[in-house]
Every structure is written in C-alpha cells, then in structure tokens.
Chains A and B, each alone.
Chain A
Amino acid sequence: MTTAPLVELENISKAFGGVQAVDNVSLTVSPGEVIGLLGHNGAGKSTLIRILSGAHTADSGRILVGGTEATITSPKDAKAIGIETIYQTLALADNLDAVSNLFLGRERRRFGIFNDRRTMVRETTEICAQINPRFTNLQTPVRNLSGGQRQTIAIARAVYFNARVLIMDEPTAALGPGETAMVKDLIQQLKSKGVGIILISHDIEDVFDLADRMVVMAGGRVVGRLNTHEATREQVLSLIIMGAETKPNPAAARP
C-alpha cells in the first residue's frame, strides 16, 4: 500500500476525572481500508471514535487528515472534512422519516430558511435505491422501520455526504442474518469506492470477514496490531481478554 493515509491519529489521550480512557493511542486509516477496532467494553474504543467524530475533544495528541492537521471540536467539524459516524444507536430521530433523518442538520434549503423537501425526497430515493433497493418506505417515521432499514438510512447518510472515513459502531449488533449480510455487502461496496472504514464490533467473525487490519485496545491503550490474513482467532481473543498475546507475534504488528 503506497497510498497516503486518509486519517492519522497521533498519540491521542483523553481522561475523564481520574480515569485515563484513552492513553497515547495512534491509528491510521488509508483509502479503501477497513480497520477492525476491538476490545472490551471500557477498553477506550468508543472514546477514541468519539474524539475522531467530534463528540469529545482529546486532551493531547493530534489528528491529521490527508496529511495536514485538523481541528475537530464538534460533530459538524468532523462531517465537514468527510468523517461520518454511524453510532450503534444509529442516532436517528424516531419521529421523523428517512428523508428528514438523512438530511438532519444538512437540509437542502430554499430561500435560506425553508426545507427543500422535494429535492430531499428525490435524492433520498436515489441514494437508497443504490444501497438497498427494497427499502422504499422513505416517508414514514423511522420508528416503524426494521433494523436493516434503519441501518440503511445511517449508511445512506454517510454515502450521500461523500464520507472519506466512515466510523461504524457495532453495525450488525441489532440485525438478523439477512440484514447482516446486506450491511457486510455495503461495507465491501464502500471499501471498493476508496472509503476508509473503522469498524467496531464485538463479533470477531464479522471483523475477520471484513477488516484488513485489526487494532486491539485494552485499558485505553493499543495492545495489539494485526494483519487479518496473518492473525488467528486465539491470538485476537487473548489480546482482548488478557491485554497480551499468549504467544507473542511481533512480525504481524505494524507501527
């Protein structure tokens, strides 16, 4: 891989009260690369991605986007430089429809203050047709939709706004087998378009299926970096559980 990284996190630290949630963590994402971010609850994964998505600000360290330093202090900043996040909760307003959710905070406007509803409906229809042709209930409140349909909206949001880096937090946790397959397929599509993806999942099989590299966190630190094709499940599990490998394999780790 000679392509320059899309995003580089350098020596990021963040403490809450006395707890060091993220401790000197570095991470790079290149175009078309899927990084599996693994670790227990409380390992620091969520805090790390919240820093990248602008929900938290780091105490120290820096974020480089396309080689230049970026200041991300709010979700808006992150979105502006092409970092989209799909939260585990999906962050959808249940009382609004797919169209409104897709454009929430980035509405198409007329005369500066009015919703350009017609354009938004048209564009939502187009983008959803690409992603999940069977999803057509674009104008009913999303609380009535299935998990896969809701996930479609969240992904459509990232695709529509040309995400360069997509953070996905447990994208398959609430889905049935058919819907999981669909989401996996979508991730492959995005990858082939050159989007860099950070995938957080408890399901180690999903990560082995999708990720090019794996980064394992424990206690706020990175305890292992592995190339998927060289890694074994035992290796990864012991990193997650013990915070160390039973059989060290330094050859697999990349800086």
Chain B
Amino acid sequence: MVFTRTCFRAFTFSVALMASGLAHAEDVRTIKIAFSVDVLDDTQNAATQAMHKRVDELNASRKDVKIEFDVYDAQGSVDKQISDVQTALIKQPNVLIFSAVDSVGSLPAMQAAKDAGVPILDRRPTSPVSDLTTVAFYSSDENRYSKATTEWIKGYLKAHPDSVLKIGAIYGAPAQTAQLLRIDAIKALAAEMPDRIQFVAEGYGNWLTATAQNLSQDWLLAYPDINYIATANDIMALGVSNTLISAGRKDILVSGYDLTPDGVQRVKDGTQSLTIGTSIADNGKTIDVALGIVDGSFKDKTYYLDPVYAVDAGNVDDFLAGKIK
C-alpha cells in the first residue's frame, strides 16, 4: 500500500513537473523575423549588424520570447529578392522586414508576404507608401536629412554674417532620385537667400571616392571662389577631403551624409566639416518595431528612426563620447 501510494505520489509529481515544463515552454514564445535586404552594402550591413545585436540583447534580457532573425541578401537583384521572400515565407515568419531592391520590381515579393498573412515592416518605403506595407520605417528620412542640412547651413550663415556660400554639389548615382533631395533642399534655401548661397557647380560622384576626388580637383581650378562642396555621402566626402588636403586648402567646407565612422573621424580631425545622418547603431530599433507589430503594441503606420544627428566640429567630441542622444 505504502509502496502504491509512493508510486502514485511519484506519478502525480512527475505529471506536475511535466505540466509545469510544458507551461514553461508555452511561456517562451518563438518569434521569427525575416529580413530581406536589397544589398548588403556598407551601410545596410552595419544596420543589419545593429539588428543582430539588438536581437541578442533581447534574447538575453527577455525570458518570454525567443527571437529568430534570418537575413536574406538580394544582392541588388529584384529576381533574387522575390525568391528570397518565397524562401523566407516557407519558414512562416511572424514579420517580414523588407528593404526593396526596386520599389516596383519588388512588389511581387511584398504581395507574396501579404498573401501569406505576414505583416511587412518596410525599411525603404515608397512615396506614397504602398498598401502592402504594414509599417513604413524611415532610417534615413530624406526630408529630415534635408531639414538638418538647411538648419546647419542657416546656423553657419548666422555665425558667419560676412560669408557667402559658393557651393559645388556632388550627387551619388543619377538613377537614384531620392538622394537628390539632400542637395535640392540647399538649392531651395539658396533661392530664399540668393545673396548668401550660390550654386557654382554640380556633378555625379557615383558614390565613389576616386570619382569625387577627380571632380573636386577639377572644380578647385575651374571655380576658384568655391568655398563649400556638399556631397551626398561620406564616401564621396572622403574624396573631396583628399583633394583639399593635397591642395593644402583648409578654407573650404565639406559635408557628407550617413555618419560613417570614417566620416565622423574626419570631422574630428577637421578634414570634413559636417556629416548628417542617423546613427547606424540606432537601427537595432527596427527589431523593437517588428516585435511591436507582432504583439500588437505598435499601432502607427510609420516610424522615423531617431534622432538625426548633424555632427560638426562643435559637437563631434560629445557625439563620440555618446553624450548626444
């Protein structure tokens, strides 16, 4: 009898253990996040790293969820991106983070996700935002970049009441129209204050250091009064800064975008005047938004990555020390 009772106790105990084990397993929810990235270039790669880091942090700190994060690199091919998303959907993700190779060409990929009932966090939203998009995520918002640029220029002109900016503008690649806004905002400002800002030259640097370097070298000769070369990213700003170093010119402003570590370092060294952008490290927030979509806590249609920094000689030390937030 004693034996049976003990047996029974042991039995109930083990059942309880099993049940609690099951309950525990149910508590930890697995959330699958798929990320289809257009091309893992310099910036996208850094952003992806930040997301990985955030996933690791969350997996370590939150006991109730286990995040699985898969990245698919479309390598700049629309076709591959469509296949990538097909593959990703087979694993039934809870949310798809999407960065389109081409806003039109990549639509079938988004449609497939929508049809599968997977919400889409769109990291390269079109304008207007596609119906297929659940949340439009702006990591580099051209409008706010433009605003930060014009604010900085206004501040500069206020601090230098006698100076007139003679600008040479270096765009990226001609086919990518969104980035043209960055410089267009300066143009709009020039139209407002023609006596303070004038455009003297424009060219394409094709996002290449060497090309921007040649272009700015030629400009120094052709436009001796040029005093500000605005480039569409830090990679091209490096080319301009190289030109200025070898020409021994320290009187010319150089600006770039993206807040790359090299760009920020050049601002610190004084060979670049300004770099504007969101911090790549902040891209980990994509994961938080994605989780918010999955658990219903994020209800907005858009998300702007905050903040947009304008790093110049005045605040670069604080920025590097992590004091600017």
> Are chains A and B touching directly in their complex (CB below 8 angstroms)?
no
Binding site for A on B (CB under 8 A): none
